[in-house]
């Protein structure tokens, strides 16, 4: 009964646990902080470990000949998401000044639109894409953090971005890929395990989100989420379809805001104190966009995949 319900929800293996994690963290936050195995498994502290295992298992299913297609697809999604986020943010800053539009600063727009939720993307690609689509996740991880936001804003301090943190994002998938290519039995053993890790990734991601931030974000936070999804998403889908010659479902799947993006405004304020006055408001707005996009994008992606085609639902 539970599995039947989850399968009916778009990206349900990710979205349903994510919502449960949000609810627990919002109303019973101390329940996840009792320590030991419980905290390590179900709190936000377990997110990185679950994600690393997920990437390793996924890596075992890839072959060397898949990599050119992976780089092409992932690179296009990464660049198009950055371009639309930077363009929107800079345009708002130039036209409306530092205060932005409807209280949404250019910093908040760039933070929300350029950072994608890799876990939601992966869950959707597991459901509607192929192995190459799933393998784009580490490439998209490059937009998860302050680096591209700082680039878009033209802020100082770019030399302080740790290069090894980017390397660390791709080590698990390459380790899995190496072992899987050496011995096909590794692929047979670890490949199916990736799907079982998705619910843990979703719950731990939700456990780092407080739904009260959505309320604090108010109307401006909802507007930021809609900008991320529909303006940012539409541009990425156009690039995916007309440049990448793909159906476009992967473009919608990256029309989200990463959970880690909530911490980006504070990082920007440290790098450039001129943005310090806008950091607190931008933080709750980005949090609202994170939650809203994680809830809406799976439904949009599902509708698009069924209408315009994907590996699971080929267009007739």
Q: Across residues 20-49, what is the average pLDDT?
A: 80
- Assigned domain for 269 exists: yes
User: Given a cut of 50, is residue 159 above it in pLDDT?
Assistant: no
What pLDDT does residue 241 have? 94
38 contacts 32 by C-beta, under 8 angstroms: yes
Q: Across residues 29-47, what is the average pLDDT?
A: 78
What pLDDT does residue 155 have? 44
> Residue 167's pLDDT band (boundaries 50, 70, 90)?
low
Q: Across residues 245-260, what is the average pLDDT?
A: 90
Q: Please report, for the domain that includes residue 135, its CATH number.
A: 1.20.1530.20
More confident residue, 46 or 181: 181
Name the domain count of the chain. 1
- Assigned domain for 56 exists: yes
Q: Across residues 154-178, what is the average pLDDT?
A: 60
- Assigned domain for 313 exists: no
- Assigned domain for 219 exists: yes
User: Given a cut of 80, is residue 98 above it in pLDDT?
Assistant: no
More confident residue, 214 or 291: 291
Enclosing domain of residue 60: 2-307
User: Given a cut of 80, is residue 14 above it in pLDDT?
Assistant: no
112 contacts 225 by C-beta, under 8 angstroms: yes
What pLDDT does residue 173 have? 76
Cβ neighbour number for residue 162 with a 10 Å cutoff? 10
- Assigned domain for 314 exists: no
- Between the alpha carbon of residue 65 and those of residues 61, 62, 71, 92, 215, the distances in Å are 12, 8, 11, 43, 47
- Assigned domain for 141 exists: yes
Give the mean pLDDT of the chain. 80
User: Given a cut of 60, is residue 165 above it in pLDDT?
Assistant: no
What pLDDT does residue 161 have? 41
Q: What is the pLDDT of residues 189-215, one digit of tens each?
A: 887 777 777 788 778 777 777 777 667
- Assigned domain for 315 exists: no
Q: Across residues 276-289, what is the average pLDDT?
A: 81
Q: Across residues 38-48, what is the average pLDDT?
A: 75
pLDDT winner (highest mean) among 82-86, 115-119, 156-160, 262-266: 82-86
What pLDDT does residue 231 have? 96
Instruction: Give percent above pLDDT 70 in the chain.
Output: 84
Judged by average pLDDT, the poorest of 81-90, 200-209, 236-245, 298-307 is 200-209
The single residue listed with the structure tokens 């943010």 is 89
What pLDDT does residue 6 have? 74
- Assigned domain for 117 exists: yes
Q: At what angle do helices 12-27 and 118-128 cross, to 10 degrees?
A: 150
Q: Could you give the 3-state DSSP secondary structure of residue 101?
A: strand
């Amino acid at each position: 009964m539970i599995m039947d319900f989850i399968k009916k929800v778009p990206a349900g293996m990710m979205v349903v646990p994510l919502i449960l994690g949000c609810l627990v963290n919002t109303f019973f936050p101390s329940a996840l902080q009792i320590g030991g195995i419980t905290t390590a498994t179900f709190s936000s502290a377990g997110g990185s470990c679950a994600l690393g295992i997920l990437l390793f298992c996924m890596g075992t299913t890839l072959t060397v000949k898949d990599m050119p297609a992976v780089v092409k697809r992932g690179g296009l999604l990464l660049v198009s998401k950055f371009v639309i986020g930077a363009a929107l943010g800079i345009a708002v800053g130039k036209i409306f000044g530092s205060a932005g539009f409807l209280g949404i600063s250019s910093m908040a727009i760039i933070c929300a639109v350029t950072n994608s939720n890799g876990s939601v993307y992966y869950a959707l690609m597991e459901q509607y894409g192929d192995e190459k689509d799933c393998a784009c996740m580490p490439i998209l991880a490059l937009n998860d953090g302050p680096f591209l936001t700082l680039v878009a804003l033209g802020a100082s301090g770019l030399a302080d971005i740790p290069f090894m943190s980017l390397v660390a994002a791709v080590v698990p998938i390459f380790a899995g890929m190496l072992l899987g290519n050496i011995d096909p039995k590794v692929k047979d053993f670890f490949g199916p395990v990736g799907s079982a890790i998705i619910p843990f990734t979703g719950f731990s991601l939700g456990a780092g989100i407080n739904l009260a931030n959505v309320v604090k974000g108010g109307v401006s936070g909802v507007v930021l989420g809609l900008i991320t999804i529909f303006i940012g998403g539409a541009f990425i889908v156009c690039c995916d379809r007309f440049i990448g010659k793909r159906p476009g479902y992967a473009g919608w799947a990256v029309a989200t805001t990463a959970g880690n993006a909530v911490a980006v405004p504070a990082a920007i304020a440290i790098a450039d104190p001129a943005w310090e006055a806008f950091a607190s408001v931008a933080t709750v707005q980005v949090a609202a966009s994170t939650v809203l996009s994680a809830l809406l994008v799976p439904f949009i992606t599902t509708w698009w995949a069924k209408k315009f085609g994907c590996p699971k639902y080929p267009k007739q």
